[in-house]
Copies of this chain bind each other. A is one copy, B any other.
């Protein structure tokens, strides 16, 4: 996690080509050194250093993270679960969100358009683990109207890369 200075501005930082070049590289390899980045962008370390610092403080770079392979840590099953609520009041929605977000199995929760209210992505070991989650965790959440589970047969692509 980025440790911002006290006076975080989060001002709408305008990014130019050089910033994008830096992001492009750091997105793929966060451990790339400033020197290396500088040489690839035909710059020196100073501007690269300062641009990275700015992007960290502006929240453009949210985090430096190790990406773990789910398959290798017994979390090889991904399930998408659609959820509709009974009550849509602000209060009830907030309560639902608080409960859902707390589940470590839920790696994603999206408020969506269409027939359902939410889509959550659940990451578990296998079908047994999903049943366990579905019955004992999701099943204990208030205010659920109906749900639908979609199973992921295979992950074709999954990236956080957004700068090209």
Residues of B within 8 A of A104 (CB): 161, 164
Verify A156–B101 contact, CB threshold 8 A: yes
Give min CB distance, A88 to chain B, whole Å.
12
| A 11-27 contacts with B by CB, 8 A | 12-13, 15, 20, 23, 26-27
Stretch touching chain B among A113-121, A130-138, A139-147: A113-121
Q: Would you call A8 an interface residue if the criterion is a C-beta within 8 Å of the partner chain's C-beta atoms?
A: no
Q: Would you call A9 an interface residue if the criterion is a C-beta within 8 Å of the partner chain's C-beta atoms?
A: no
Interface size class of A (residues with CB under 8 A): 35 or more
Residues of B within 8 A of A20 (CB): 73
Verify B156–A72 contact, CB threshold 8 A: no
Residues of B within 8 A of A41 (CB): none
Verify B111–A73 contact, CB threshold 8 A: no
6 A-B pairs closest in CB distance: A26-B66, A109-B156, A109-B157, A30-B64, A63-B67, A113-B151
Q: Please state the number of chain copies in the assembly.
A: 2
CA gap between A157 and B96 in the complex, in Å: 13
Verify A67–B68 contact, CB threshold 8 A: no
Residues of B within 8 A of A123 (CB): 162
Contact mask for chain A residues 91-119; partner B; CB cutoff 8 A; 1 contact, 0 none: 00000010011001011111111100011
Q: Would you call A34 an interface residue if the criterion is a C-beta within 8 Å of the partner chain's C-beta atoms?
A: no
Q: Would you call A129 an interface residue if the criterion is a C-beta within 8 Å of the partner chain's C-beta atoms?
A: no
Verify A108–B59 contact, CB threshold 8 A: no
Q: Would you call A86 an interface residue if the criterion is a C-beta within 8 Å of the partner chain's C-beta atoms?
A: no
Verify B156–A73 contact, CB threshold 8 A: no
Verify B113–A153 contact, CB threshold 8 A: yes
